[in-house]
Amino acid sequence: MGIVMKVLSKSVIVILSLVMATSAWSGVNIQPSKLYFSGVLKLGSKMKYVRVHLKPGMRFVAVMGVYKNRRGENTVKAWLVTEENFRRRRAGKRYYYIKGAGGTVRKTGKIVYRATKEGDYYFLIRSGSTNGNTPVKLVVYTLQPRLTPEFLRERKFYDRMYRAYIAMFKSRYFDINVRVCGIKNAFSDYESNITICRELIIDLKRKGHGEAIKFILHHEFAHSLLKIWGWPLYDNEDVADEFATVLSLMFRQYKAPLAAARWWAKRPVSARYLRYKIRKYDRHTITIQRARNILKWMKEPRKLLKKWQKFLISNMTNAALKVLKRGWEKGTLTWVNIDVVRAEIARRVRLQRQCR
């Protein structure tokens, strides 16, 4: 495997140098958000709170989805207060919430506040039912008025990946969005736009699997690209995992699939998890099997690349085909089927002549 990686790395350096020179439009959208809470709370009469820090120009956002309790009631009371008023409340004194940033929420609701002063703020929430025990799906986050250096570095990573995709494969433009979703997830929508949820990124980094983010991006890109190409199995999760492994090899991101495999291998396969997959019609293979599949593919990278190359070559850009041909001629891309590459180049030349 080490020999294959060394061979692949030389070819990808050439391809990435081609990518850096590409001035393709980038559809990367980074939401400059900081997540404070995302989950389900069971609220009673006792007030619960989430503390956030705001600076002038920043926006506070709280999104609530209230479920019915045993009495069929689905209301909560929520307010945003300053630190001073929070202390007054704790001391049992009269306090005031920020005007326009609080009230009663029934079923669903959203509170947005634009800060004018810097400081700590407290989002208070309790059940609106006399019986209490009201479950609520709560997401609390803040938005910066502009991209900070941290978010600019994040955009640079996704922008480079986007340009690499466009430079290597024939595809129309699509978007890559990184934002708060209210769930740990990533998906490719019906228009082939990709969304990576902030909750998933935070969870992976917290658990030491940050490299898996790259594999997840490849997985969603596989869905998008196969759909754009009109392939009938574009929504097959195992096919997307296999294609993502191929992309990881082509872009020299060898740690990414292994990190994803470790992450899935550590996720428990409980009866509750299986019931959820059946109830929600989740088409993903169970986590431990996804991990096994990736490890098997990574053990035989040359075999995997040969398996996919005929299909990919017909959907690669002219510039990428020239890189493959040049790499084979120099002896650095021995896994390439040069006959297939030459046949595809010749086919495109004939089509170009016919169109003149």
Pairing, β 176-179 against β 28-30: parallel
Q: Same domain for 7 and 49?
A: no
DSSP 287-352: HHHHHHHHHHHHH-HHHHHHHHHHHHHTTB-HHHHHHHHHHHHHTS-TTS-HHHHHHHHHHHHHHH
Segment 115-120 mean pLDDT: 95
Contact 77, 97 (CB under 8 A): no
Mean pLDDT lowest for which of 249-253, 272-276, 316-320? 272-276
Domain that holds residue 315: 2-30+148-349
Looking at the structure, do residues 156 and 136 belong to the same domain, yes or no? no
Residue that finishes a domain, picked among 121, 143, 165: 143
Mutual orientation of helices 318-330 and 149-168 as an angle, nearest 10°? 80
Average pLDDT over residues 109-117: 94
Q: Label residue 3 by pLDDT band (50, 70, 90).
A: very low
Cross-strand partners of 113: 60
Q: Nearest 5°: phi and psi at 25?
A: -60, 140
Place of tokens 């006399």: 130
Report yes or no on 354 lying in a domain.
no
Q: Rounded to the nearest 10 degrees, what angle do helices 149-168 and 2-20 cross at?
A: 100
> Is residue 131 located within the same domain as residue 253?
no
Residues 102 and 162 occupy one common structural domain: no
Q: Is 356 part of a structural domain of the chain?
A: no
* Together in a domain, 10 and 78: no
The predicted-structure confidence for 37-68, as pLDDT tens digits, reads as follows 999 998 887 889 999 999 999 999 999 999 88
What CATH code is carried by the domain that includes residue 60? 2.60.120.380
Is residue 355 in a domain?
A: no
- Whole-number pLDDT of residue 8: 47
Mark which of 143, 175, 194 sits at the end of a domain.
Answer: 143
| Pairing state between β 194-197 and 75-82 | unpaired
Question: Is 143 a residue whose pLDDT tops 80?
Answer: yes
Q: What percent of the chain has pLDDT over 70?
A: 88
Same domain, yes or no, for 281 and 216?
Answer: yes
Mean pLDDT over 183-192 rounds to 93
Task: Count how many domains the chain has.
Answer: 2
- In this predicted structure, the answer to whether residue 1 has a pLDDT above a threshold of 60 is no
Q: Report the predicted TM-score, pTM, of the whole model to 2 decimal places.
A: 0.87
Confidence at 276, pLDDT banded by 50, 70, 90: low
Shared domain for 340 and 284, answered yes or no, is yes
**CA-based nearest residue to 267, from 276, 279, 278:** 276
117 plus 167 within the same structural domain:
no
Choose the final residue of a domain: 143, 170, 202: 143
Whether residues 99 and 241 share a domain: the answer is no
